[in-house]
A and B are shown apart, each in its own frame.
Chain A
Amino acid sequence: MKNIKNYIILISLFVSGIINAQNVEFKRSNFKDNIDDYKTATDAIDKGVEHFEKGSLAIFEVRNSGLHFKKALQQFQIAQELNSENALNNFRIGVCYIHSSSPYKAIPYIEKAYQLNPECDPFLYYYHGNALQLKEEFDAALTSYQKFEENYRKADNFGKFVTMRKRECGYAKTFKADPVRCWVDNVGTLNTEYDEIAPTITTDGSEITFSSNRPNGHEQNEVGEYDHDIYTSLNTNGKWQKVHPIKGSVNSNLDDIVNNLSYDGTKMLLHKDNEGQIDIYETTLNGANWSTPELMHFQISTKRTNDMYASYNHDGYNIYFSRGNENLSKGTNIMYSGMQSMIEKDFKAATTINQVNSKFNDGPIYMHIDGKTMYLASQGHESIGGYDIFVSTRKQGSWTKPVNLGYPINTPYDDFFFAGTANGKYAYISSNRPNGKGGFDIYKVTYWGEPKKPIIDMEDYLLASIAEPIKDPQIEEVVSVNKVSLTVFKGKTIDALTGKAVEANIEITDNESGKLIERFTTNSASGKFLLSLTAGTNYGIAVKADGYLFHSENFDVPKGSAYNLINKVIELKNIEVGSKIALRNIFFDVGKATLRSESNSELDRLVKLLKEVPSLKVEISGHTDNTGSATINDQLSQERADAVVTYLKGKGVNAGRLTSKGYGSRQPISSNSTSKGRQENRRTEFEIIEN
């Protein structure tokens, strides 16, 4: 029933809001039918205001506000559930969030309060400026701060905060216009919705140690929060692995905040917050476990002060840390104390480092391994809002003015702690900027370094021969392929009548070229000869022997291994009257009596015979096969015989020794029924008719 009533009130408030955003006061008249709710809301507000004022005072005095804003927030949220349209309650919730670890949650409440009634609280303009600053709307924030100054008439010291905020906006505009070349990435595997702070890493970057108030099984405080414990994670292939509580007896029911690992990873500084008494401790690594922390020397941790955020320097002899007074009413300042004796482990009185301290909280501190660089967090200096991280370097014995590490490492939110790698490429920080996992998270800063210029490659053919190579001299030329094949030509010369061996002179001629290929004499005893001839040629062979008729014939030597041997028996005839010799190497044009030039060798041998044997009288006779008419054959054979006689006469043979006769086909020497026989019958003969 109660819920339904609340629903009706909210609906009515919502409708009025649509018409015109209107501030709804926590008045009885606005809770006519819900008196209990009215009482609940106003009681909660009263309780909340009590804590709210204490928290605000702590802020004013630059000290830790403790749980006041958290307690106040719990109460204001009770009232908010019953009436969300009250400007002042929205404002107060916003302020509580501003001072929480999730300040971005303040923005919608502050803006709503401003919308409902900008005059609801004298500090609204100031916190509206804060909200706009968090949204990085720095000009608008400055306008709100200006309005606050115009309307705030109290002669207290609050003006220093406004001045600081205005300066922050100015710095923020400058730094944001020239951002640092880096990535700032939430390290998701380390973070939770709770707070993760105080990262510190080993020099080799393989292990990170930090503190978190994630649930740890301890008793929760009044606002349901757990105390901080120290956790660790290992890096494998660039990825942080599952988080574990630090091993050993370091973690307690108090807030255990890791401060700094020694460079060799064997010692660790931490501070513990024991109900407002903050002291620095040191623990050492024994095997895999950290020892029970020991309170640092009294020069570093005293009961009169709150000491925290300690850092070893590069050689381990100096401890740098932050110190506040008993109730932290003047903020914290950075100090250092030098070791007097390694054996006694006693330290000299701590000294404030004025150059790096501001009017606001200064610290945590991180001393770089180079021994001359200090990273420090501060709410002062040139902060762009909340804590920012700064760097100072030691020059000629003193520390330089801290320089803001710049945007986006620093934001209008709280950015603090700094653990850098030795090469300066990476650093780990804590920040409560928005879009994290909640509260403070650990962020990894990856510096890009100096601007990198991408490589543009050009290419030339500086040597022309690369573009088009010189090809001189050219390759050797083609050769004519010499497919020579030889055939063995063997034979013998014998007397045609007796068969006895006859020593004879033989001339072999290439009929095509007319070249004399070979001239030799056959064996006198056997008449044998043996020679090789190039295959694929038509040869003429002429055989002469004393007392014998001249012998001639032509023959082909075919190509191919099947024809690599030719055997020939040459029968020679005595020069007796009546002897007839067929002249086989006399050729005529087909059907004509025109002598072809291939005949000349044979004819010249006949001329030579007639000149050598002047007594010879011969008849040159022409013969055909029986193809065609006898008349034509007779005529052709006569004309061919005449042609031979004419040739012989032309070569100086007396005409009286020569007779020509055409026999046509009448004197065959072979059968006309076969082509071979007809070829043999087509011939020119000479017959010795007188000797």
Chain B
Amino acid sequence: MIKRKTIFVGVCIFAFSTLGFSQELTEKEQAYMDSINAENAQNETTAASQEAYNKGISLFEQKSYIKAINSFEESIKLDPNFTAAYYNKGISENEARRFDQAAKTLSLLLEKDPSYSKAYFQRARAFQGSGEYTKAELDYKKSIEIDPENPNAYYNYGTLQFLQKDYDKAIQSFTTTIEKGGNLAYAYNDRASCHRMKGDYAKAVSDYEQAQKKNPNLAFVLNNIGTTKLKMENFDGAMAAFNHAISIDKNFHLAYNNRGAAQMDRGKLDEALADFEKCIAVNNKYAPAYTNIAAVKYKKEDYKGAKVAADKAIKLDKDYASAYVNRGMINEMLRDMNAACEDWQKAKELGSESGEQYASQNCGF
């Protein structure tokens, strides 16, 4: 709660001497004067804190999250008891994906005011973002306990359960979200993804289609339909879904990338290459598309071209295991086994099974 300064009006009546009344203040008057001056200084600080807070909200709305964080931080510095500033700072940190910092800010807030119920939801999101799933789970439970009718708490709890690969519980949470009228398109999409992860592709497609009915403008839902149909070896259905996704959002780079992958599956290397290149035209920072271009060019035996693409992928993401695996294969065909083995070793260190396999089979003596 905002601490509101009430207008201070006080009256002091003193038994002064009836003799002369000068501008000079008596000791008591001076003390009173000092207390008023202190009050004024405090009021000024509070006002500055509020101004920084309001500026933070404005910056947040402009999506300038880092600047917003700084502004809320300034507000807190001026008024360490301004709880709303903590809350907004935590949300801004979540938006800026500074999840660790967000969790700290929101924990501070809850220390100051344990009844600030909304903070549990946001702190759960922060813990989820930083991979501290156990803590996130506790906060989501607390959030649901405080506000059992908030569908978003169930939704986010469901996403957490999904990330923990507890797909059955996630399905329950998304179902509750749907029952409580939350974001239906999201909930259907995510429940579909649970089914997909369980290998029940038919149910997955059914839920994805429900999501698409609830919000026909979500290209990523159509993309999910496409990739699921690919798993069902329904190539034509997948292509139709990717095409539909692109028709909704011609800048949705994932749909181009995935359509390229589908073409690759069918051995249509030129078409695949064209799609991966479109993906990059839309998003030239998307490392997987470069990795995929490297793969196509490897298949086309254009090893030098493939290496250029793999180098680019690694430049964009130095921890991208697949790019190292592919570049290792390319280096092998360029007869540079030392470089190939370095790449596979790196991929292995990054957790790639293929990297580990190739390193053990091809490197050393």
Interface of A toward B, CB cutoff 8 Å: 183, 185, 203-205, 237-238, 421-423, 425-426, 446, 448-449, 452, 454-465, 467, 469-473, 475-488, 490, 492, 500-501, 517-518, 520-523, 525-534, 561, 564-565, 567, 569
Contacts and interface: CB of A to CB of B under 8 A. Distances in A.
Interface string B1-39: 010110111111111111001010000010011001101
Size class of B's contact patch?
35 or more
Given A461-B220, A462-B196, A528-B14, A482 B288 contact: no
5 contacts: A464-B186, A470-B156, A475-B60, A523-B13, A530-B14
A534 B257 contact: no
B12 A484 contact: no
B171 interface: no
Contact of A564 (B40, B53, B91): B40
A452 B329 CA distance: 7
Most-contacted residue by chain B among A477, A483, A569 (CB, 10 A): A483
B127 interface: no
A386 B294 CA distance: 41
B281 to A, nearest CB: 17
Interface string B146-159: 00001010011001
B295 interface: yes
A476 B82 CA distance: 12
B54 A473 contact: no
Contact of B5 (A484, A492, A531): A484
B201 interface: no
Given A501-B18, A532-B8, 15 more contacts: A237-B338, A426-B365, A456-B261, A456-B264, A460-B227, A463-B193, A464-B190, A464-B211, A476-B57, A482-B43, A492-B16, A500-B18, A525-B15, A531-B9, A561-B37
Contact of A530 (B17, B32, B265): B32
Nearest to A492: B21
Interface string B169-210: 000000000000001011001100100110000000000000
Most-contacted residue by chain B among A460, A477, A481, A517 (CB, 10 A): A460
Nearest to A459: B254
Nearest to A521: B13
Contacts of B7: 484, 534
Contact of B254 (A449, A452, A461): A461
Contacts of B21: 492, 526, 528, 569
Contacts of B133: none
B243 interface: no
Given A488-B36, A532-B8, A462 B193 contact: yes
A483 B10 contact: no
B54 A478 contact: yes
B337 interface: yes
B29 A183 contact: no
Contact of A452 (B16, B118, B230, B358): B358
A448 B197 CA distance: 35
A520 B13 contact: yes
A532 to B, nearest CB: 5
Nearest to B287: A457
A486 B40 contact: yes
Contacts of A469: 95
Nearest to B82: A479
Contacts of A490: 29
Contacts of A518: 9, 11
A531 B220 contact: no
Contacts of A422: 365
Interface in B326-342: 326, 329, 332-333, 335, 337-338
Nearest to B361: A449
Nearest to B121: A473
A532 B39 CA distance: 11
B237 to A, nearest CB: 16
Contacts of B155: 465, 470
A570 to B, nearest CB: 11
B190 A462 contact: yes
Contacts of B40: 484-486, 561, 564
A454 B43 contact: no
Nearest to A448: B332
Q: Which 4 A-B pairs have the closest CB atoms?
A: A454-B295, A205-B365, A526-B16, A462-B193
Secondary structure at chain A's binding surface: helix, strand, loop or mixed?
Answer: loop
Nearest to A483: B47
A642 to B, nearest CB: 38
Given A463-B162, A464-B185, A425 B325 contact: no
B257 A458 contact: yes
Nearest to A490: B29
B299 A454 contact: yes
A457 B193 contact: no
Contact of B54 (A479, A483, A533): A479
Contacts of A470: 152, 155-156, 183, 186
Contacts of B13: 520-523, 528-530
B291 A455 contact: yes
Contacts of B230: 458
B105 interface: no
Nearest to B224: A460
A459 B291 CA distance: 12
B16 A525 contact: yes
B335 A183 contact: yes
Given A482-B5, A483-B43, A459 B156 contact: no
A527 B264 CA distance: 98
B345 interface: no
Contacts of A481: 47, 50-51, 54
Contacts of B2: 479
Contacts of B364: 205, 423, 425
Most-contacted residue by chain B among A456, A476, A526, A561 (CB, 10 A): A456
A446 B337 contact: yes
Contacts of A459: 254, 257-258, 288
B365 to A, nearest CB: 3
Contacts of A457: 257, 261, 288, 291-292, 322
A520 B11 contact: yes
Contacts of A449: 361-362
Interface string B126-159: 0000000000000000000000001010011001
A461 B16 contact: no
Contacts of B338: 237-238
Given A459-B254, A459-B288, A461-B223, A532 B88 contact: no
Contacts of A520: 11, 13
B298 A454 contact: yes
B70 interface: no
A475 B363 CA distance: 55
Contacts of A238: 337-338
B81 interface: no
B84 interface: yes
B8 A464 contact: no
A482 B48 CA distance: 9
Nearest to A520: B11
A305 B335 CA distance: 44
Contacts of A460: 193, 220, 223-224, 227, 254, 258
Contact of A464 (B14, B189, B329): B189
A38 B44 CA distance: 123
A425 B50 contact: no
A518 B299 CA distance: 90
